[in-house]
């Protein structure tokens, strides 16, 4: 996989991120990242996964957040990304959008533990 294609095998991704490949495998087992697989079952990371791994590394190494905390932060961020488009005033005029927003807020409450 060439670097200019934006797809990286686990060894290349680990080197770029200054992480051990075993750490990337652990993060996958925990569901923090989901690299795609080749036909031969090799892990392939795209630019989006690399950015997510950089964020995880920042949380763990620089902020001292444990992996359970990282999982929660990422879950909250994902819910917030789904909520953001629903917050538009015109979108909220539809009943379906309001119901979807309420459902996403419920999911957020579950993640945060409220």
Q: What is the pLDDT of residues 44-63, one digit of tens each?
A: 999 999 999 999 999 999 99
pLDDT in tens, 4-47: 468 999 999 999 999 999 999 999 999 999 999 988 889 999 99
Per-residue pLDDT, 27: 97
Cβ-contact 7, 46 below 8 angstroms: yes
Spatial separation of the C-alpha atoms in residues 87 and 3, rounded to whole Å: 38
Residue with tokens 């989006």: 48
Place of tokens 């539809």: 94
* Residues 74-90: tens digit of each pLDDT: 988 888 887 777 666 66
Query: 10 Å Cβ neighbour count for 54?
Result: 13
Q: For 7, what's the count of Cα atoms within 13 Å in the CB-facing half-sphere?
A: 10
pTM over 0.85: no
CA angle 60, 62, 64 (to 5 degrees): 50
Per-residue pLDDT at 78: 86
Residue 54 CB partners (closer than 8 Å, separation 6+): 17
Residue 113 has a pLDDT of 65
pLDDT of 38 reads 86
């Amino acid at each position: 996989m060439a670097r200019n294609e934006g797809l990286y095998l686990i060894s290349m991704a680990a080197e770029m991120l200054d992480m051990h490949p075993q750490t990337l495998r652990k993060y996958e087992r925990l569901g923090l990242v989901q690299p795609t697989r080749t036909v031969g079952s090799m892990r392939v990371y795209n630019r989006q996964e690399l950015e997510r791994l950089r964020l995880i590394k920042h949380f763990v190494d620089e902020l001292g957040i444990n992996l359970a905390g990282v999982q929660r932060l990422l879950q909250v961020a994902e819910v917030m990304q789904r909520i953001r488009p629903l917050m538009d005033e015109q979108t909220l005029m539809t009943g379906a959008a309001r119901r979807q927003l309420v459902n996403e807020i419920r999911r957020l409450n579950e993640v945060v533990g409220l």
